[in-house]
Amino acid sequence: MRYLDFKKFSIYYDPYLIISITLLSILGLFFLYSASDGNASVLIKQSIFVFFGIILMIVLSQPDPQIYYSYSGFFLLISIILVFIAIFFGPEINGANRWISFGFVTLQPSELCKIFLPIFIASYLYGVKLPINLKNTLLTIFLIFIVFLIVSSQPDLGTAIVILLSGLYVLFLAGLSWTFIGSALAIFVISLPFLWNNFLEPFQRQRIATLFNPDLDPFGSAWNITQSKIAIGSGGIFGKGFGEGTQSHLNFLPETETDFIFAVIAEEFGLVGLTILIGLYFFIFVRCFYLSINARDRFCRLVIGGLSLVFISTLFINIGMVIGLLPVVGMPLPLISQGGSSLISFYIAFGIIISMASHKKLVPR
């Protein structure tokens, strides 16, 4: 049974996901408190997001997946409109127009696209026969690229990459033909130099170059990675203790509350702390895997699979960057980094996952 029956109404939930996500969120608050140098206002703001986020997750678990299926196009449209509002009317921060300000809080609507794009694609491909024909494949890819280009024009390469991946995951899981995958990969590899020269900003090329050769620019873009590695490495097995990370607190590490919070955790809690943290994430992945395999229909399968892979990708891109294996790109550590938009979007994603996992199709007796 996936629901509590209170005679009049039922609550749908998944105990494993709710408990592990809540645990991770609370742990995140604890880490954030240290990463922000004990800044109470940061902690309170984030706590409010976590509290209402978890409630939102439970609320979104209640509707039948059929609702998400029927309104998927509407949700995606709303998300894209919000992105346009951010581009044209939002405040410009550091040369980017990613945010919509609501006075007390600013949100990043592009985060919603990474949830509703895969859901829309899943609904679109729901009835498509295997293998997916070329027309459907190209239409889907066209849609993915449109959303990708809109978001990257903000500019926000990190989120745009995740959106691109989110769409491709669903397309792949739905049964994209291997022939198509093979030829697309070949074309991609061939056009790589062209993409490098025409689509990447000079600072992005620099970041990739320094990844392979940090000595190239020890005080520029490689500085962050060098300091991040020092922070992680000097954490050792048990870490320096809560609030004792010198790299984190003496301003050697950049963006400690957001992108580089993983390095703060590594410095203060060591390999032991990281293993516990990674263990929690691992548990969520395994649970999502189980839920998607056992989902009630193709739409639910694709959505659970797609959304959980978005979550995994965000985590891997963030950690990969912080430990120096991937180029520096703005990407939060899911459920932990400071910032309401990322947090809320993942609560929405898990709300939808739980809805799909806990509503069983009523089989006529």
Partner 1 sequence: MTEINETYKEKISFNKRLIFLYVAFGILGVAFYYQIFNLQISNYSEYEIAAENNKNEEISVQPLRGIIFDRNGEILVNNIPTFDLITKPFFIDNPDDFLLKLSSFLEIDEEDKKVFLSEFEKAKTLNKELTLKQSISDEDKAKFLVRSHMFENAYVGKRYLRNYLYPKIFSHSIGYVGKPNEDELDEIYEKRSLNKKINFTYTNQLIIGKTGLEFTYEDILTGEFGNNLREVDARGRTLNEKISSEPKVGNNLYTSLDLNSHKAAHKAFNNRKGAVVAIDIKDGSIVTLFSSPTFPTNQLANGILQKDFDELLLSEEKPFFNRALKGRYPPASSIKPAIAMYGIEEGLIDWDFSIFDEGFFTLPEDGRIYRDWKEGGHGNTNLFKAITQSSNTYFFDLAYRSDINKLNKHLSSLGFGGKACIDCFEEDKVFVPEPSWKMNKHNFGWFKGDTVNMGVGQGYLVSTPIQLAKYAYIMANKGKFSDLSLKKDLVKSEKSIEFNKFSNDDWFKLHESMVNVIEGNTGTARRLRERKNYIVAAKTGTAELVSGDNREQYSETRLDDSLRDHALIIAFGPMPNPRYAVSVVVENGESGGSVAGPVAISVLNSLIQE
156 or 267: CB nearest partner 1: 267
30 interacts with partner 1 by CB under 8 A: no
Residues 229-248 that bind partner 1 (CB under 8 A): 229-237, 240, 243-248
161 interacts with partner 1 by CB under 8 A: no
CB neighbour burial string for 302-314, b if at least 16 within 10 angstroms, e if fewer: bbbbbbbbbbbbb
CB neighbour burial string for 141-158, b if at least 16 within 10 angstroms, e if fewer: bebbeebbebbbebebbb
66 interacts with partner 1 by CB under 8 A: no
The span of 7-15, 43-51, 147-155, 297-305 binding partner 1 (CB under 8 A) equals 297-305
Of the candidate residues 301, 303, 332, 352, the single one contacting partner 1 (CB under 8 A)? 301
| Residues in contact with 162: Cβ distance below 8 Å, sequence separation at least 6, in sequence order | 114, 310, 313, 314, 317, 331
292 interacts with partner 1 by CB under 8 A: yes
Minimum CB separation of residue 275 from partner 1 in Å reads 8
21 interacts with partner 1 by CB under 8 A: no
Q: Which of 57, 5, 16 is nearest to 294 (CA)?
A: 16
Minimum CB separation of residue 175 from partner 1 in Å reads 5
249 interacts with partner 1 by CB under 8 A: yes
Of the candidate residues 208, 280, 289, 296, the single one contacting partner 1 (CB under 8 A)? 289
Query: How far lies 295's CA from each of 235, 290, 364, in Å?
Result: 41, 9, 18
Of the candidate residues 87, 143, 271, 280, the single one contacting partner 1 (CB under 8 A)? 271
22 or 136: CB nearest partner 1: 136
99 or 169: CB nearest partner 1: 169
Alpha carbons 355 and 14: distance in angstroms, whole number? 9
87 or 128: CB nearest partner 1: 128
List Cβ<8 Å contacts ≥24 apart for 178-185.
180/134, 180/137
Alpha carbons 298 and 282: distance in angstroms, whole number? 24
270 interacts with partner 1 by CB under 8 A: yes
Alpha carbons 123 and 121: distance in angstroms, whole number? 5
Of the candidate residues 63, 274, 296, 330, the single one contacting partner 1 (CB under 8 A)? 274
Summarize as ranges the residues that interact with partner 1 (CB under 8 A).
129-130, 169, 172-175, 227, 229-237, 240, 243-252, 266, 270-271, 274, 278, 282, 285, 289, 292-293, 298, 301-302, 305, 309, 312, 316, 319-320, 323-325
